[in-house]
Amino acid sequence: MIHQTTCCYCGVGCGIVVRQEPNGRLTVEGDKEHPSNRGMLCSKGMNLHYTVMDQSDRLLYPQMRLNRSMPLQRVSWDTALERTAAVFRTLIQKYGPDSVAFYVSGQCLTEEYYLVNKLIKGFIGSNNIDTNSRLCMSSAVVGYKLSLGEDSVPVCYDDIEEADVFYVQGANPAWCHPIIWRRIEAHKAANPHVKIICVDPRRTDTARSSDLHLPIRPGTDIVLNNAIGRLLIEKGYIDDEFIVDHTDGFTAYREQVMQRTIDEAADICGINADDMHVAADWIGRSKGFLSLWTMGLNQSVVGVNKNLSLINLHLITGRIGKPGNGPFSLTGQPNAMGGREVGGLANVLPAHRDVTNAAHRAEVEAFWNSPVKIADKPGLTATEMFDALADDRLKAIWIINTNPLVSLPDLNAAENALKKARYVVVQDVSSRADTVAFADVVLPAAAWLEKEGTMTNAERRITYLPKVLNAPGEALPDAEIIWRFAQKMGFADAFSYNTAAEVYLEYTQITAGTNVDVTGVSYELLKAKRSVQWPYPAGGRGQGAGSGETGTKRLFTDQTFYTTNQRAQLHAVPDGNNSEPTDENFPLVLTTGRIRDQWHTMTKTGRVAKLNQHAPQPFLQIHPKDASDRGIQDGQLVEVKGRRGEVRVKAQITEDVRPGLCFLPMHWGKFLNSNLGRANNLTNALIDPRSKEPDFKFSAVEVTPY
């Protein structure tokens, strides 16, 4: 049997062909028919079948305990869900709907995201649902909304072959979005005039294969982008007609960027002023200017401003809505975008509606026939949920397919918060999730290939994922777990689904007339066409120039934006950084990130021997000068200490990090190495005030030989 599906790791969303042999053995290969990857897969995708065939860590049955000093005991689905419904009803009655919360994941399918969102916002009456995408994409979401009017990625992967300058800032696609990077490399190999600029304090593989590496000091991205903006203005590279006809805010922007000289900016960033001129000249003279970014911009206490400073460069040059041009935030998780579409964040409703907008709330209440009013304030975001558990404002949390005790910042505090929670539900595939130890109820979920549904990748492309295998034991698809629970809560009429297709059809109807209109999409269409890009309204075509039967390739091709007056907004952003200060006790800046062959908290990739070979253990990259100042030898065990905790790992002395900077991979947790390399013991709880995204890339630490 042959099945076409989508990779469940990153936001590139590669198509995969799964072959099932009569003896049950599975193989995977890249799907040549899928336009996102054209048959290519990275190391993680190529080894996906191992994670499916190794069932050793799977959660197989619902489990429950009446208090946490007791062991978890196997129970029936009815017992687990009825008890949970009883606890939720009691808490809601006693403390109000905001006493409960759901924390979900960019790994969830669109249908699952939609149902949890509907349940808590439309039927429980709280906006306390957030997702681990908060840790990843929320600064880009706010950046797009403030500049373009809505959370909408304007470009597509085919823009890669149309671009001649790539500005990669705070991202390492060579490791983290490898298939996109291979397309860029192939394009450059065929077109040697193509230039790649990489902005990163680390010399990553992306930096190594770039034409210009700008190794800026951590936290100075806005200074750099504003300086490039100034140079584009001074050198006459801006598009005056576009600015006048299609944007607001240019005068204030120009005043802001003129406040610093280029030499001053170069000094702050710690790079050569000449390199800033080179970058501005390449961007200014290009025909296609594509910028790509991820966590280096997003995971910052000024993440929204960083995003705006980059999008500004596209708006002053008019490089948006045209082939090969535009700002392209690379989505981290496979369905982070799908989750945003259906309203899986604490501040949004389906189809990018806003919880603070009365008309939007009324539309959704009417559509759902809600028995309660949708709350008019945003709910608790990811880190806020754990703060609220710690001080007992939040009583119960339901965690779905994410492992916050490895991925949240300031983990010792997060762990204490979960200990204090009155009721914890963990719905997951794997017993390796660090949260299981804190659960009152554990619900076994079906994994990739064991359920059907849809995902949206980084270029707004929706792909159907078929059910190929039966889930082991009594594991159920996440959507079914949620609709069964909603029925136990007394909402049987509104959650009387039998299939994921019914859920998806309902979701498509709520998008009618919005900028995310997918009323033309159905499972049948996706099976026939393999994938389409939204918007895709009823009628069977996407919108705008270059679009067709497979959907909308680019947004804003007619230069009208989603703002109220249809003009894009330039923002004069201050260039300061408000991260945790260093001092004589903690003089080094720690940044965290992914490594090539691991995914998130390693519950899947950590089980694949081939993938573990790349980096079997956590490590700390430190510059030779910083190592020598501290008497540290290469390979020596060191203690990395910050204001909230410490870790012990082996030092890797390398000039790939700037002096004053060190780097830890973010993947390892307690489950795998008893706290030794848990990077988020060290990260801080600061968040961007608008996106609520944590400041993972800048924590003050000291390193000493252990």
Binding residue for ligand SF4, selected from 17, 26, 28, 42, defined by CB under 6 A = 42
Q: Give the ranges where 118-257 is alpha helix by DSSP (H).
A: 138-148, 173-176, 178-190, 205-208, 221-234, 240-246, 250-257
Per-residue binder mask for ligand SF4 (CB under 6 A), 14-33, x = binder? x-------------------
Question: Of 108, 160, 163, 179, which lies in the binding site for ligand SF4, with binding defined by CB under 6 A?
Answer: 179
User: Could you tell me which stretch among 2-10, 51-59, 189-197, 305-313 binds ligand SF4 (CB under 6 A)?
Assistant: 2-10
Work out how close the CB of 10 gets to ligand SF4 at its nearest, in angstroms, rounded to a whole number: 3
3-state class percentages of the chain: helix first, strand second, coil last, to nearest 5: 35, 20, 45
CA distance 703 to 276: 33
**Neighbouring-strand partners of residue 214:** 199
Q: Is 7 in the site for ligand SF4 (CB under 6 A)?
A: yes
Asked if residue 12 binds ligand SF4 (CB under 6 A), the reply is yes
How far, in Å, CA of 543 to CA of 536, rounded? 7
Q: How far is the CB of 46 from ligand SF4 (least distance, A)?
A: 7
Q: How far is the CB of 600 from ligand SF4 (least distance, A)?
A: 11
Q: How far is the CB of 151 from ligand SF4 (least distance, A)?
A: 21
Q: How far is the CB of 352 from ligand SF4 (least distance, A)?
A: 24
Indicate whether 9 belongs to the interface with ligand SF4 (CB under 6 A): yes
Q: Which of 5, 13, 225, 589 binds ligand SF4 (CB under 6 A)?
A: 13
CA dihedral for 384, 387, 389, 393, sign (positive or negative)? negative
CA dist., res. 251 & res. 626, Å (int): 44
Q: Which stretch binds ligand SF4 (CB under 6 A): 151-159, 174-182, 297-305, 513-521?
A: 174-182
Q: Both tokens of residue 601?
A: 């908290």
Using an 8 Å Cβ cutoff, are 406 and 532 in contact?
no
User: Diameter of the chain by CA atoms?
Assistant: 71
Alpha-carbon separation of residue 454 from 7, 66, 304 (angstroms): 12, 36, 29
Q: Which is nearer to ligand SF4, 170 or 178 (CB)?
A: 178
SS3 309: helix
Q: Residue 344: is it exposed, middle or buried by C-beta count within 10 angstroms (0-12/13-18/19+)?
A: buried
Q: Closest CB to ligand SF4 among 16 and 148? A: 16
Contact between 603 and 56 under an 8 Å Cβ cutoff? The reply is: no
Query: Which of 40-48, 379-387, 506-514, 537-545 is the region at the interface with ligand SF4 (rule: CB under 6 A)?
Result: 40-48
Cβ-contact 320, 556 below 8 angstroms: yes
| Sign of torsion over alpha carbons 565, 567, 568, 571 | negative
- Per-residue x/- mask for ligand SF4, residues 43 to 72, rule CB under 6 A? -xx---------------------------
Does 595 engage in binding with ligand SF4 (CB under 6 A)? no
Residue 227 CB partners (closer than 8 Å, separation 6+)? 257, 260, 262, 265, 266, 269, 276
Q: How many residues bind ligand SF4 (CB under 6 A)?
A: 14
271 contributes a contact to ligand SF4 by CB under 6 A: no
Query: Near ligand SF4 by CB under 6 A, which window of 37-45, 107-115, 128-136, 317-325?
Result: 37-45
**Closest distance between ligand SF4 and the C-beta of residue 45, in Å?**
2
Q: Which residue type occupies 557? A: T
Q: Rounded to the nearest whole angstrom, what is the least distance from the CB of residue 246 to ligand SF4 in the complex?
A: 34
State the nearest-atom distance from the C-beta of 204 to ligand SF4, in Å. Answer: 16
> 77: which 2 tokens?
């689905």
Which residue number has the CB closest to ligand SF4? 45
Alpha-carbon span 589 to 683, nearest angstrom: 10
- Taking residues 478 to 497 in sequence order and writing x for each that binds ligand SF4 by CB under 6 A, - otherwise, the string is --------------------
Residue nearer to ligand SF4 on the CB measure, 44 or 553: 44
Residue among 44 and 667 whose Cβ is closer to ligand SF4: 44
In terms of CB distance, is 12 or 52 closer to ligand SF4? 12
Task: Compose the 128-157 pattern: x for residues touching ligand SF4 by CB under 6 A, - for all others.
Answer: ------------------------------
In the complex, the smallest distance separating the C-beta of residue 111 from ligand SF4, rounded to whole angstroms, is 20
Q: Residue 127 corresponds to which tokens in the numbers above? A: 């906006």
Angle, helices 273-285 vs 262-269, to 10°: value is 110
Q: Residues, the chain, total?
A: 706
Q: Which stretch binds ligand SF4 (CB under 6 A): 36-44, 109-117, 261-269, 417-425?
A: 36-44
Question: How many angstroms separate the Cα of 303 from the Cα of each of 219, 358, 641, 672?
Answer: 10, 28, 25, 31
Contacts to ligand SF4 from residues 68-97, by CB under 6 A: none
Structure tokens at 380: 């608790």
Interacting residue ranges for ligand SF4, rule: CB under 6 A: 7, 9-10, 12-14, 37, 41-42, 44-45, 177-179
